[in-house]
Structure 1
Amino acid sequence: MPKGRIEVLEEMCKSCGLCVEACPNKVLKISDRINSKGYRPAEQYKEGCVACKMCAMMCPDVAIEVYRIES
């Protein structure tokens, strides 16, 4: 099974949570940190990303990049 890494562009994220709901492996959550715009950006908080890019496709702010990790 492929592995992936999720990078959230924190200043673009508006904490809508669509990515959290879309992730089939539930590796995203809304952060406790607050960005400069007053939002709590999403973050990858555990292993298990398979680089399916569902989170990135759902993000209305195009604030998520997904990278496949080659083993």
Structure 2
Amino acid sequence: MAKRSFRVDINYDWCKSCGICYHMCPTKTIKEGELKRPVVEDHSTCIGCLICENLCPDFAINIVDITEKVGEKNG
């Protein structure tokens, strides 16, 4: 059984701080930071809905699936 986990990658070189991502995020994983820049304090709250990624006009957000295999031992 796998536990779905996601990481929000924001390319600040492309981001113009429009705020669409943090206004539309249903879990408030993306929050408004200084100078209206989006910030992510806790990636574990991301549910992978891709709303932010799909609505970003600058293509500055990438949601990465970092699913872990629960109960699987490494090595």
Compare CA radii of gyration and give the structure with the larger one: 2
Root-mean-square deviation (Å):
1.6
Q: Which residue of 2 aligns with 1:29?
A: 31
Q: Which residue of 2 aligns with 1:42?
A: 38
Could you tell me which amino acid in structure 1 is paired with residue 47 of structure 2? V
Q: Percent identity over the alignment? A: 31
Q: Which residue of 1 aligns with 2:55?
A: 58
User: TM-score normalised to the size of structure 2?
Assistant: 0.74
Give the superposition deviation at 1:30. 2.6
User: TM-score normalised to the size of structure 1?
Assistant: 0.78
Any idea what SS the aligned residue of 1:10 has?
A: coil
Aligned residues: 65
More helix by share: 2
Distance 1:5 1:50 in 2: 9
Give the superposition deviation at 1:54. 0.7
Could you tell me which amino acid in structure 2 is paired with residue 67 of structure 1? V
Gaps of 5+ in 1: 33-38
- Structure 1 segments, 4+ long, off by >4 Å, are none
